[in-house]
Amino acid sequence: MNFNTEFKPFTVQPQKIEGRSFEMIDEEIGRHQFTEEQYPVVQRVIHASADFELGRSLVFHPHAIQAGIQAVRSGKRVVADVQMVQVGISKPRLEKFGGEVSVYISDPDVMEEAKRLDTTRAIISMRKAIKEADGGIFAIGNAPTALLELIRLVKAGEAKPGLIIGLPVGFVSAAESKEELAKLDIPFITNVGRKGGSTVTVAALNAISILAEKV
C-alpha cells in the first residue's frame, strides 16, 4: 500500500466545506419522515455528529420549530444545563433579538442547596432556572436528571418553557428521560435512545436561531 500520495482537501473555505457537507447529508439520508421546517434541525444534528442514526431518531412536537423561532424572536432566555452547551450556542444570533444564554449549575447557591439536599446540581439548577426563564428555551444535552426535574416541574404547573430541547447522552436515565419528555403536550425536540450530547443540543438550538433570522 502506497502512503506517499499527499491528501488534498476538497477546499479550505469554511462556507464551501459546510455547503458540501450538507449536500452529502442530503444525498445519504435518503427518504425520511421529517417536515420541511424540521429538516434543517436534523441536518445540523447530523452535521455536528456525523451520525445518521442519531439524526433519524429525532422526535419533534408538532409546534416545536415555530415555538422555538417565536421564543428566539421574542428575546426569551435560553437555559443550558451545562457550560459545554452554553459555550457552543451562537450568542450573536440570540443577542440580535435581545436574548441571552444562562447556565446555573455552577452557581454557589445551587451548589450549596444541592449539597444540603444531597441531590444533583442539575436538579437544583432547573429549580432556579424556571424562576428566571418563563417562556424560554431549555437546552439540555448532558444531564438526564435536569431533564427529568424540568419535566416534573412542567407537570406540576411550576414551569412553562417555550421549547425544551432535550438530548442528554448517557446510560443512566438518558433514554428514559427523553421518553418522558415525548409524552408532554408542550413544544419539544428530543430523540429516541441513549445518544445525544452537548454538541448535538447546540446544533439543534443553532438551527432554530438560524431559522429565526430568516424573514
Which residues, in sequence order, are CB contacts of 14 under 8 Å at separation 6+?
A: none
Other CB atoms within 10 Å distance of the CB of residue 133: 22
Note if 61 is an active site residue.
no
What DSSP string describes 24-58? HHHHHH-S----TTTHHHHHHHHHHH--HHHHHTE
Residue among 146, 196, 198, 200 nearest 171 (CA): 196
DSSP summary character for residue 99: -
Which residues, in sequence order, are CB contacts of 135 under 8 Å at separation 6+?
A: 71, 74, 76, 160, 161, 162
SS3 content of the chain, % helix, strand, coil (to 5): 50, 10, 40
Cell numbers 444541592: residue:
114
Q: Which of 32, 47, 61, 63 is catalytic?
A: 47
Active site residues: 47
